[in-house]
Structure 1
């Protein structure tokens, strides 16, 4: 009986270069829809869970509205400590943590387009699965991804293994055959 060996590399589908330009990989910036856990040490009445509203603000006891959109959690911490120091406390010590990220969006040729909760470390492929998978006409390859980069939005075709960020928008295209 003859023995035939096949190389697995010859059986695999060809890989295509998809990414034309890099996606922004800047530090995470807060935005509308994020939920924050803010702790002012030794001040339980100033601590709590706060949502970044549609205007990009958070509303805190004593301080009122504070701009949060576009800031990193560390930058927001510095702003809060500065405002508390000016008005109420000698040496405020503030902690800012992201309790829940803003949602991501997916549309196109998926079973259920819409808005979904972001999970840290999620890939585009996992996002497609969360949306119920592809429709029969869905292209099972690279997708279009839109990501905010400061004031700009970067739109690029990416492979399914791309890591997502909160607020990303995915568009699954239709296949032609």
Structure 2
């Protein structure tokens, strides 16, 4: 693909990238960094001038391919942030807990994004892609799961989401 085609695709899918970033990162500033990281990764993969040929072979839709790249970057980001914050002090944990309680009391109901952030990453991925309108088969292409496994993960994720929302 040439630069103008890639630019068009990135513009077209920027809202999708933003939603994926918001699903994986709560901090707005880090969301923007993550969107840029996703965009650069997508550009590099689709840019045929760098390697002579694009890595996109048309085995899936462009939307699915871009989503896969974005989710992989988002997972890398989450894992990097977990390692960075692996052993917070008890004061930091207490502050975070009190801040979460304060925010929960300020709002009458928990919103979907907050509930999504509490799901384990594999479940978060499936639900986020379902919200984007992907089928179980398409969702399975992103983390490399079979359709049945994706459906089962979705069912478990919805149960956990329900518990999170009911708990709050």
Output the TM-score relative to the length of structure 2: 0.22
Higher helix share: 2
Structure with higher Rg: it is 1
Output the TM-score relative to the length of structure 1: 0.21
